[in-house]
Structure 1
Amino acid sequence: MKKLVSLIAFCFCSVLLFAQGNVDVKGKVTDENGKAIANVEVVVKNTTQTVKTNDQGEYTVSLPEGKYVFKFTRLSYGTKTVLAQVVSNTELDVALEKIHNSKTSRR
């Protein structure tokens, strides 16, 4: 019984330590005109963190403090990769450029 109580206490403390080590990275993705872009995929490289922006172009990712590479992608927009130092209250706003396809007409 004493071992079980010790194991439960250890697991509880481990969860608390892990949770305290994470900070939220928040940001907004816009186009070159400042308009919010929904459904942008935000990938944090070398982690399992992948989220999408909401209708207001906002996203939140919870990570331990440190340096990370963020990759922002959306169909019809260029991809942007950003290296960021994540600390308490990190905000990472990004502007993506629309890809304009030029079509040649046949005559």
Structure 2
Amino acid sequence: MVTKTVADKKVVAPIAHVLSDKQRLEEIIRRLNRAQGQLGGIVKMLEAGRSCGEVITQISAVGKAIDTAAFTLISSSLKECIQEDRADADVVSAQLQRLFLILA
């Protein structure tokens, strides 16, 4: 993990990798857009007085969709990082693994 000092505090440096697989990126964006639409539907369900069970089921589905998007982004970035033979591949890989563990 790479840290830097900001105002006398150590913070984790941002990951310097941007996903270059356009098809995978579009897949992630579609999934997140769908989740965004589902969130709007959940708000309408609450406003309409739908049952707690129905609302929780939809919230769970949105959470899983977001988790899947995050895992896809991390795993795709990790794969690219390894394949690119970057000088900082070990650092970026460690940062991505840390993000993966945060989600797990």
- More helix, by proportion: 2
Higher strand share: 1
Say whether the fold is shared (TM-score over 0.5). no
Please give the range of the TM-score, normalised by the shorter of the 2 chains: under 0.3
Q: Give the greater-gyration-radius structure (CA).
A: 1
Q: Which has the higher contact order (CA 8 A, sep 6+)?
A: 2
